[in-house]
Copies of this chain bind each other. A is one copy, B any other.
Amino acid sequence: MEKPGCNSSYSKKEIQQLRYLSREEAEAIEKELLEEFRFGQQQLLEILGHACAMAVAKVFPLHSLAKKQPTLLVVCGCEQNGAIGLACARHLRVFEYEPTIFYPKRSSNPLYRDFTTQCEKMDIPFLSYLPTEVQLISDAYNLVIDAVLGVEANLGEVAEPYISVLSTLKQIRIPLISLDVPSGWDVETGSSEGISPDVLVSLAAPKRCATRFMGKHHLVAGRFLPYDVQKKFELNLPEYTGTECVVSL
Protein backbone atom coordinates (compact mmCIF):
# COMPACT_ATOMS: atom_id res chain seq x y z
CA MET A 1 0.00 0.00 0.00
CA GLU A 2 1.38 3.38 -0.98
CA LYS A 3 2.06 5.85 1.78
CA PRO A 4 0.17 9.10 1.60
CA GLY A 5 3.36 11.18 1.47
CA CYS A 6 4.79 9.51 -1.62
CA ASN A 7 3.25 11.70 -4.27
CA SER A 8 4.33 14.96 -2.76
CA SER A 9 7.87 13.71 -2.24
CA TYR A 10 7.97 12.56 -5.86
CA SER A 11 6.75 15.87 -7.18
CA LYS A 12 9.61 17.65 -5.45
CA LYS A 13 12.03 15.68 -7.58
CA GLU A 14 10.36 16.59 -10.85
CA ILE A 15 12.38 18.94 -13.01
CA GLN A 16 10.63 22.26 -13.06
CA GLN A 17 10.11 23.71 -16.47
CA LEU A 18 12.08 26.67 -17.69
CA ARG A 19 9.74 29.56 -18.35
CA TYR A 20 9.67 31.26 -21.75
CA LEU A 21 8.64 34.87 -21.20
CA SER A 22 5.94 36.84 -22.94
CA ARG A 23 6.82 40.40 -23.91
CA GLU A 24 4.73 41.64 -21.00
CA GLU A 25 6.59 39.44 -18.51
CA ALA A 26 9.98 40.49 -19.89
CA GLU A 27 8.99 44.13 -19.53
CA ALA A 28 7.63 43.56 -16.03
CA ILE A 29 10.93 41.98 -14.96
CA GLU A 30 12.93 44.89 -16.37
CA LYS A 31 10.64 47.36 -14.62
CA GLU A 32 11.06 45.54 -11.32
CA LEU A 33 14.86 45.46 -11.68
CA LEU A 34 15.02 49.17 -12.46
CA GLU A 35 12.40 50.45 -10.02
CA GLU A 36 12.38 48.05 -7.09
CA PHE A 37 15.94 46.76 -7.09
CA ARG A 38 17.39 50.07 -8.30
CA PHE A 39 19.56 48.53 -10.99
CA GLY A 40 20.79 51.13 -13.45
CA GLN A 41 20.35 50.86 -17.21
CA GLN A 42 24.06 51.37 -17.75
CA GLN A 43 24.75 48.59 -15.29
CA LEU A 44 22.32 46.17 -16.97
CA LEU A 45 23.71 46.93 -20.44
CA GLU A 46 27.21 46.27 -19.14
CA ILE A 47 26.26 42.97 -17.45
CA LEU A 48 24.36 41.74 -20.52
CA GLY A 49 26.97 42.89 -23.05
CA HIS A 50 29.69 41.09 -21.12
CA ALA A 51 27.56 37.95 -20.79
CA CYS A 52 26.87 37.96 -24.56
CA ALA A 53 30.60 38.19 -25.27
CA MET A 54 31.16 35.25 -22.92
CA ALA A 55 28.46 33.28 -24.77
CA VAL A 56 30.04 34.02 -28.17
CA ALA A 57 33.47 33.00 -26.85
CA LYS A 58 31.99 29.81 -25.39
CA VAL A 59 30.46 28.67 -28.69
CA PHE A 60 33.23 30.07 -30.91
CA PRO A 61 36.52 30.09 -28.97
CA LEU A 62 39.34 31.99 -30.71
CA HIS A 63 41.17 28.82 -31.78
CA SER A 64 38.03 27.37 -33.40
CA LEU A 65 37.54 30.15 -35.94
CA ALA A 66 37.91 29.21 -39.61
CA LYS A 67 39.77 32.33 -40.69
CA LYS A 68 43.30 33.31 -39.69
CA GLN A 69 42.09 36.63 -38.28
CA PRO A 70 39.47 36.38 -35.52
CA THR A 71 37.15 38.83 -37.27
CA LEU A 72 33.44 39.18 -36.60
CA LEU A 73 30.72 41.60 -37.53
CA VAL A 74 28.30 43.04 -34.97
CA VAL A 75 25.16 44.59 -36.47
CA CYS A 76 23.52 46.98 -34.01
CA GLY A 77 20.10 48.61 -33.95
CA CYS A 78 19.42 51.97 -32.34
CA GLU A 79 17.60 50.67 -29.24
CA GLN A 80 18.60 48.61 -26.24
CA ASN A 81 19.48 45.44 -28.17
CA GLY A 82 21.97 47.46 -30.24
CA ALA A 83 23.55 48.97 -27.13
CA ILE A 84 24.07 45.47 -25.73
CA GLY A 85 25.68 44.61 -29.07
CA LEU A 86 28.07 47.55 -28.64
CA ALA A 87 29.06 46.40 -25.14
CA CYS A 88 29.43 42.83 -26.44
CA ALA A 89 31.74 44.02 -29.24
CA ARG A 90 33.90 45.92 -26.73
CA HIS A 91 34.31 42.86 -24.49
CA LEU A 92 35.08 40.67 -27.50
CA ARG A 93 37.81 43.15 -28.46
CA VAL A 94 39.28 42.78 -24.96
CA PHE A 95 39.14 38.98 -25.43
CA GLU A 96 41.28 39.52 -28.56
CA TYR A 97 38.63 39.02 -31.20
CA GLU A 98 38.56 41.57 -34.02
CA PRO A 99 35.03 42.95 -34.11
CA THR A 100 33.72 45.36 -36.72
CA ILE A 101 30.48 47.19 -36.02
CA PHE A 102 27.69 48.14 -38.40
CA TYR A 103 25.47 50.67 -36.67
CA PRO A 104 23.45 52.33 -39.41
CA LYS A 105 21.22 54.55 -37.27
CA ARG A 106 22.81 56.02 -34.19
CA SER A 107 20.78 56.63 -31.09
CA SER A 108 20.62 60.07 -29.53
CA ASN A 109 20.24 58.47 -26.09
CA PRO A 110 23.33 59.73 -24.15
CA LEU A 111 23.78 56.33 -22.53
CA TYR A 112 23.93 54.54 -25.88
CA ARG A 113 26.15 57.32 -27.24
CA ASP A 114 28.66 56.61 -24.46
CA PHE A 115 28.70 52.89 -25.31
CA THR A 116 29.39 53.93 -28.93
CA THR A 117 32.23 56.25 -27.93
CA GLN A 118 33.84 53.49 -25.88
CA CYS A 119 33.96 51.30 -29.00
CA GLU A 120 35.20 54.10 -31.26
CA LYS A 121 37.93 55.10 -28.83
CA MET A 122 38.99 51.48 -28.59
CA ASP A 123 39.60 51.57 -32.34
CA ILE A 124 36.86 49.13 -33.24
CA PRO A 125 36.08 49.87 -36.91
CA PHE A 126 32.56 50.97 -37.90
CA LEU A 127 31.29 50.08 -41.37
CA SER A 128 29.60 52.87 -43.26
CA TYR A 129 27.41 50.44 -45.21
CA LEU A 130 26.58 46.74 -45.16
CA PRO A 131 27.55 44.95 -48.38
CA THR A 132 24.43 43.55 -50.06
CA GLU A 133 26.63 40.89 -51.66
CA VAL A 134 26.75 38.38 -48.80
CA GLN A 135 29.84 36.70 -50.20
CA LEU A 136 31.81 39.80 -49.21
CA ILE A 137 30.62 39.34 -45.63
CA SER A 138 31.48 35.63 -45.63
CA ASP A 139 34.94 36.41 -46.98
CA ALA A 140 35.71 39.05 -44.38
CA TYR A 141 34.22 37.66 -41.16
CA ASN A 142 34.04 34.42 -39.22
CA LEU A 143 30.61 35.18 -37.85
CA VAL A 144 27.90 37.81 -37.56
CA ILE A 145 26.19 38.96 -34.38
CA ASP A 146 22.63 40.19 -34.78
CA ALA A 147 21.93 42.93 -32.22
CA VAL A 148 19.45 44.77 -34.40
CA LEU A 149 16.02 44.36 -32.80
CA GLY A 150 15.11 43.04 -29.36
CA VAL A 151 12.13 42.72 -27.03
CA GLU A 152 11.38 46.42 -27.44
CA ALA A 153 10.94 46.25 -31.23
CA ASN A 154 7.56 47.05 -32.76
CA LEU A 155 7.56 44.88 -35.85
CA GLY A 156 4.76 46.88 -37.47
CA GLU A 157 7.11 49.84 -37.58
CA VAL A 158 10.29 48.24 -38.91
CA ALA A 159 11.54 50.51 -41.70
CA GLU A 160 14.78 51.16 -43.58
CA PRO A 161 17.64 50.71 -43.03
CA TYR A 162 16.54 47.65 -41.05
CA ILE A 163 14.43 46.06 -43.81
CA SER A 164 17.54 45.83 -46.02
CA VAL A 165 19.73 44.76 -43.12
CA LEU A 166 17.38 41.89 -42.25
CA SER A 167 17.19 40.84 -45.87
CA THR A 168 21.00 40.63 -45.96
CA LEU A 169 21.21 38.77 -42.63
CA LYS A 170 18.71 36.23 -43.99
CA GLN A 171 21.14 35.28 -46.73
CA ILE A 172 24.25 35.05 -44.56
CA ARG A 173 26.07 31.70 -44.87
CA ILE A 174 28.51 32.11 -41.97
CA PRO A 175 27.29 31.51 -38.38
CA LEU A 176 24.71 34.05 -37.27
CA ILE A 177 24.24 34.71 -33.56
CA SER A 178 21.12 36.53 -32.39
CA LEU A 179 20.95 38.37 -29.08
CA ASP A 180 17.75 37.72 -27.10
CA VAL A 181 15.25 37.83 -30.00
CA PRO A 182 16.22 37.05 -33.61
CA SER A 183 15.70 40.40 -35.35
CA GLY A 184 12.40 40.60 -37.18
CA TRP A 185 10.89 37.79 -35.10
CA ASP A 186 7.88 38.43 -32.93
CA VAL A 187 8.93 38.17 -29.29
CA GLU A 188 6.25 35.56 -28.69
CA THR A 189 5.38 33.86 -31.96
CA GLY A 190 8.72 34.03 -33.77
CA SER A 191 8.69 34.11 -37.56
CA SER A 192 8.47 31.54 -40.31
CA GLU A 193 10.01 33.77 -42.97
CA GLY A 194 12.64 35.71 -41.07
CA ILE A 195 16.29 35.07 -40.31
CA SER A 196 17.42 31.65 -39.04
CA PRO A 197 20.21 32.21 -36.53
CA ASP A 198 22.56 29.34 -35.71
CA VAL A 199 22.96 30.54 -32.14
CA LEU A 200 20.47 32.24 -29.86
CA VAL A 201 21.71 34.01 -26.74
CA SER A 202 18.73 34.63 -24.45
CA LEU A 203 19.34 37.52 -22.07
CA ALA A 204 18.72 36.63 -18.42
CA ALA A 205 15.75 34.38 -19.34
CA PRO A 206 14.43 33.06 -22.69
CA LYS A 207 11.54 34.76 -24.45
CA ARG A 208 8.65 32.76 -25.94
CA CYS A 209 9.98 32.97 -29.51
CA ALA A 210 12.94 30.84 -28.38
CA THR A 211 10.65 27.77 -28.51
CA ARG A 212 10.67 28.26 -32.31
CA PHE A 213 14.46 28.45 -32.50
CA MET A 214 15.84 25.64 -34.66
CA GLY A 215 19.55 26.49 -34.63
CA LYS A 216 22.38 24.55 -33.01
CA HIS A 217 23.07 26.42 -29.79
CA HIS A 218 20.69 28.08 -27.38
CA LEU A 219 22.32 29.75 -24.38
CA VAL A 220 21.09 31.86 -21.51
CA ALA A 221 23.51 34.65 -20.59
CA GLY A 222 23.44 37.18 -17.77
CA ARG A 223 23.49 35.69 -14.28
CA PHE A 224 22.36 38.43 -11.97
CA LEU A 225 18.61 38.08 -11.46
CA PRO A 226 17.75 38.33 -7.76
CA TYR A 227 16.31 35.12 -6.36
CA ASP A 228 13.05 36.89 -5.49
CA VAL A 229 12.56 37.93 -9.11
CA GLN A 230 13.26 34.39 -10.30
CA LYS A 231 10.71 33.08 -7.83
CA LYS A 232 8.04 35.71 -8.47
CA PHE A 233 8.12 35.10 -12.22
CA GLU A 234 8.63 31.32 -11.78
CA LEU A 235 11.60 31.40 -14.14
CA ASN A 236 13.12 28.03 -13.15
CA LEU A 237 16.40 29.07 -14.72
CA PRO A 238 18.93 26.38 -15.59
CA GLU A 239 21.80 25.92 -13.13
CA TYR A 240 24.97 27.86 -13.82
CA THR A 241 28.31 26.17 -13.14
CA GLY A 242 30.74 27.77 -10.68
CA THR A 243 31.09 31.46 -11.45
CA GLU A 244 29.98 31.19 -15.08
CA CYS A 245 27.51 33.74 -16.44
CA VAL A 246 26.44 31.63 -19.43
CA VAL A 247 24.63 28.30 -19.56
CA SER A 248 23.83 26.10 -22.59
CA LEU A 249 20.35 24.65 -22.89
| Interface 9-mer from A6-14, A116-124, A140-148 | A116-124
Interface of A is mostly: helix
Say whether A65 faces chain B, with CB atoms less than 8 Å apart.
no
Which residues of A, 100-135, contact B by the 8 Å Cβ criterion?
111, 113-114, 117-118, 121-123
**Contact digits for A162-182, partner B, Cβ 8 Å, 1 yes 0 no:** 000000000000000000000
| Interface 9-mer from A34-42, A152-160, A192-200 | A34-42
- So how many copies of this chain end up in the complex? 2
Q: A46-B47, A226-B121 known; A39 and B114 CB under 8 Å?
A: yes
Say whether A53 faces chain B, with CB atoms less than 8 Å apart.
yes
A122 CA to B54 CA, complexed, in Å: 25
A242 CA to B57 CA, complexed, in Å: 9
* Apart from A38-B114, A38-B117: 6 A-B pairs, beta carbons within 8 A: A37-B118, A37-B121, A38-B118, A43-B46, A54-B243, A90-B224
Whether A243 pairs with B57 at a CB distance below 8 angstroms is yes
Q: Which residue of B lies closest to A111 (CB)?
A: B40
